[in-house]
Structure 1
């Protein structure tokens, strides 16, 4: 039996040098950004604020589940904006609100605080959770999904939301 056994040649030296250079570059880049005080990428909210884009319409809404599975969308100023009944093609509203409700539960927040739905002068549509500050850009989800929320801005009386109608 041979007396020496070495693991030193398992990785080529060039691979180790490149891995070390990559780590050094990442640390240097992160340090440069931190020291130079370069701001992070702007959010759509900040970009609108900087560009002076104003809201065209907005509505404060509360989403309440009913025992029959329907979701009642209440206008905070009074009245019902819409009722989303089970079986309609409104899964997008349910999905969005389910995700936001999950985040509220994680923070110990109930369904009392409202959401602000806003149409901006640049055509964008956003939904902001007043309790957590989370903002969703609804235009990013496509025109059909955006339309289900946009209809809530113009809804004056209780109605069922059905984008296929």
Structure 2
């Protein structure tokens, strides 16, 4: 194509009033959009076509409460041992832990659960580390975020602590 033709196409892009999109394309696109929304709603309502992964079989777990303080530090407490402090993070540390717990806490409020509550960190037989919200029963496989983030939560649970 010559430069003049390209300039003419750029100045008057398709479709224009003289060349509208064909009606069969517009009708077909509309039907496709409505069908997609209908199938998604049907799957969500009935569970057909959805997959759900069962909670892992834990070899060790620990129930923890994460509290962000006014000075932007993060305190991790053991919910099963009288809220004993497990770890403290400065304002600059524990970014992944903060972000994940904030997101799951925000999800709690969407389901009508109280924002404050315990999370269970579990080590599974296959070496995975899982975070479970005890209010909504949402499970997150931390391996999806990489080994550094797995270790961020694995530090709270050791196999010798036993199962709770």
Q: Give TM-score scaled by structure 1 length.
A: 0.64
Closer/same/farther in 2, CA of residues 39 and 108 from structure 1, 3 Å limit = closer
| Residues 1:41 and 2:54 aligned together | no
**1:124-143 paired onto structure 2 within 5 Å:** 124-143=128-147
Q: 1:38 to 1:21 in 2, by over 3 A?
A: farther
Q: CA RMSD in A?
A: 3.4
What is aligned with 1:110? 115
Instruction: Tell me how far apart the structure 1 counterparts of residues 155 and 146 of structure 2 sit (CA, whole Å).
Output: 14
Distance apart, 1:26 and its partner CA: 5.3
Kindly indicate whether the alpha-carbon contact (under 8 Å) linking 2:113 and 2:135 is maintained by their aligned counterparts in 1. Answer: no
Contact 2:60 2:122 in 1 (8 A): yes
Measured after TM superposition, the shift of residue 148 of structure 1 is 0.4
Deviation string for 1:74-113 (max 9, x for gaps)?
Answer: 111113322222233x2111112222333345546231x2
Q: Number of paired residues?
A: 139
Alignment TM-score, normalising by the size of structure 2: 0.65
Q: SS at 1:139's partner residue?
A: helix
Q: What are structure 2's unaligned runs of at least 5 residues?
A: 1-15
Which residue of structure 2 aligns with residue 71 of structure 1? 74
